[in-house]
Structure 1
Amino acid sequence: MQVRAIIYEPDEFPDELYQRALLLLDPESSARIKKFYRREDACRTLIGRFLPRMLLHDRGVALSAMEFAATEVGKPFITTQGLDPPIAYNVSHDNGLVVVASSNNTHNPPAFTLGIDVMKVRVPGRESLASFVDSMADQARPNLTTLERRLIASTADQDQALERFFWMWTAKEAYTKALGLGLGFDFQRVEFDPAEDTLRVDGRKPAGWIFSKFVVLRGGDRYQGVVAEFVGGDETTVVAESQLHNWVALEHAAPFIRAAIQRISG
Structure 2
Amino acid sequence: MTPPTSSLLSPEELAAHVDTCHQVFQIWSGDGELIITKEDEQAVQQLVQYLSLPVKTLGSPESVRVRDSLPAAISFTLPISPFAGEISSPSAGAESRTLRLDVRLPLRKGATPADSHMTLSLQDPPWLASPGLEKLKEAAGLDLSTEKHDGAARIMDTVEALSEAALESQPDGKSAPGLSSARLGEYDLVDPSPTTSASSAQVWAVDISSWPQSRSTTAALQPLVDRLFAHEADEIGLKDQKQSVAKVMRYMREVDRTRALAALLLPRVMLLERAKQRGDVLGWDELSFGKTKEGRPHLAFPPDIACLLDYNVTHDSDWVAMASRFSSSPAEKVRVGIDVMSINLPHYEESATTFLETMGETTTKTESKWVQEAIQAGEEDEGLRRLYDLWTHKEALTKNIGLGMGFDFARVEIGLWDCEGVREERQSKSGAVLKLDGQTTNGYTFKEIVLPAGAGPGSEQNGAPSQLVVCEGPWHVGHREPLASGEQGDQSNKTDLQRLARGVTPAVGPEDTSLQIAPARSHAEAQAEGILRLWKMEDLVAAGEKLIEDNN
TM-score under structure 1 length normalisation: 0.87
Q: Aligned ranges for residues 120-159 of structure 1 at < 5 Å?
A: 120-125=342-347, 127-135=350-358, 137-138=359-360, 142-155=361-374, 156-159=378-381
- Which amino acid is 2:322 matched to? V
Asked whether 1:249 is paired with 2:533, we answer yes
The DSSP-based 3-state class of the residue aligned with 1:183 is coil
Decide whether the 8 Å contact of 1:36 with 1:42 is kept in 2.
yes
Matching residue within 54, 58, 80 for 2:269: 54
Correspondence for 2:293 = 72
Q: Unaligned 5+ residue runs, structure 1?
A: none
One-letter code aligned to 1:117: D
- AA aligned to 2:345 is V
Distance 1:55 1:83 in 2: 12
Letter in 2 for 1:161: G
Aligned residues: 261
CA shift in 2, pair 1:163/1:104, >3 Å? same
Structure 2 SS opposite 1:238: coil
Q: In the alignment, which of 516, 521, 525 is matched to residue 237 of structure 1?
A: 516
- 1:9 equivalenced with 2:9 (yes/no): no
Instruction: Give the Cα separation in 2 of the matches to 1:212 and 1:206.
Output: 17
Q: How many Å separate the matches in 1 of 2:522 and 2:210?
A: 32
Is residue 311–residue 337 contact of structure 2 (8 Å, CA) maintained in 1?
A: yes
Q: Which stretch shifts more, 254-263 or 164-173?
A: 254-263
The answer to whether the 8 A contact 1:171-1:228 is kept is: yes
Contact 2:352 2:380 in 1 (8 A): yes
Does residue 224 of the first structure (1) align with residue 467 of the second (2)?
yes
Are the structure 2 counterparts of residues 230 and 170 from structure 1 closer, same or farther at C-alpha, using a change threshold of 3 Å? same
Residues 449, 526 of structure 2: 8 Å contact kept: no
Return the alpha-carbon distance in structure 2 between the equivalents of residues 124 and 20 of structure 1: 35
Identify if the C-alpha distance between structure 1 residues 84 and 184 changes in structure 2 by more than 3 Å, giving closer, same or farther.
closer
Contact map agreement 1:57 1:63 (CA 8 A) in 2: yes
Residue deviations 1:31-78, cap 9 Å, x none?
111111111111101101100101221233211110111111101110
Against the structure 1 CA distance between its residues 108 and 14, is the aligned structure 2 distance closer, same or farther, given a 3 Å change threshold? farther
1:170 to partner: Cα distance: 0.9
Instruction: Give the structure-2-normalised TM-score.
Output: 0.44
Structure 1 counterpart of 2:221: 18
2:412 to 190, 209, 213: 190
Superposition deviation, residue 12 in structure 1: 3.5
Instruction: Please give the root-mean-square deviation of Cα atoms over the aligned residues, in Å.
Output: 2.6
Contact residue 450 and residue 466 of structure 2 kept, 8 A: yes
Instruction: Verify the 8 A CA contact 1:170 1:224 in the aligned structure 2.
Output: yes
- Over 3 Å counting, the alpha-carbon distance change for 1:32 and 1:205 in structure 2 is same
> Letter of the aligned partner of 1:52 in structure 2?
P
- For the 8 Å contact 1:105–1:113, the answer to whether it is kept is no
Which of 259, 262, 265 pairs up with 2:546?
262
Deviation at 1:108, TM superposition (A): 8.4
The CA distance in 2 between the partners of 1:104 and 1:205, in whole Å, is 27
Q: Deviations over 1:71-98 (max 9, x none)?
A: 1110111011232872210000001100
Once the two structures are TM-superposed, the CA of residue 184 in structure 1 deviates from its matched residue by 4.5
Q: Does the residue aligned with 1:22 lie in a helix, a strand or coil?
A: helix
Deviation at 1:159, TM superposition (A): 2.0
Out of 284, 289, 302, the position equivalent to 1:63 is 284
Whole-Å Cα distance in 2 between the matches of residues 208 and 124 of structure 1? 33
Identity %, equivalent residues: 28
Q: Judging changes above 3 Å, is the alpha-carbon distance between structure 1 residues 250 and 105 closer, same or farther for their aligned structure 2 residues?
A: same
Distance (whole Å) between structure 2 residues aligned to residue 115 and residue 166 of structure 1: 16
Alignment correspondent of 2:278:
none
Q: Cα distance 1:108–1:118, how it changes in 2: closer, same or farther (>3 A)?
A: farther
- In structure 2, distance between residues paired with 1:53 and 1:20: 19
Give the unaligned 5+ runs of structure 2.
1-200, 234-241, 276-281, 420-427, 455-462, 475-504
Structure 2 residue matching 1:240: 3-state secondary structure: coil
AA partner of residue 128 (structure 1): S
The alpha-carbon deviation at position 120 of structure 1 amounts to 0.7
